[in-house]
Amino acid sequence: MKSSHIIALLGGVAIGATLALLFAPVKGTETREKIKDTLDKGVGEIKKEYHKHFPKNQEEGLEA
């Protein structure tokens, strides 16, 4: 892939993200809160799976 294609792709992504934020149906504070909640939930699920697969680390207090 040529570097000009990559630059065009990144430019398109930046323009798309900007338009999505400008035309979003909710306030920025609400959007950031939703993103934070989703990330917190995802991190919690990852930790739960980690401790399910590596219980020895959890017992020894070697949590990540």
Q: Is residue 52 part of a domain?
A: yes
16: left (phi over 0), alpha (psi -120 to 50) or beta: alpha
Q: Is residue 27 a part of any domain in this protein?
A: yes
Residue 15 sits in which domain range?
A: 3-59
Largest Cα–Cα separation, the chain: 52
Domains: count for the chain: 1
For the chain, give percent helix, strand, coil, nearest 5: 80, 0, 20
Question: Does residue 44 lie in a domain region?
Answer: yes
pTM for this one?
Answer: 0.48
**pLDDT over 90 (residue 13):** yes
Res. 25: pLDDT tops 80: yes
In a domain, 64, yes or no: no
For residues 29-55, average pLDDT:
88
pLDDT single digits (tens) 14-23 = 999 888 878 8
Pair 38, 45: CB distance under 8 Å: no
Dihedral sign (CA 51, 55, 61, 64): negative
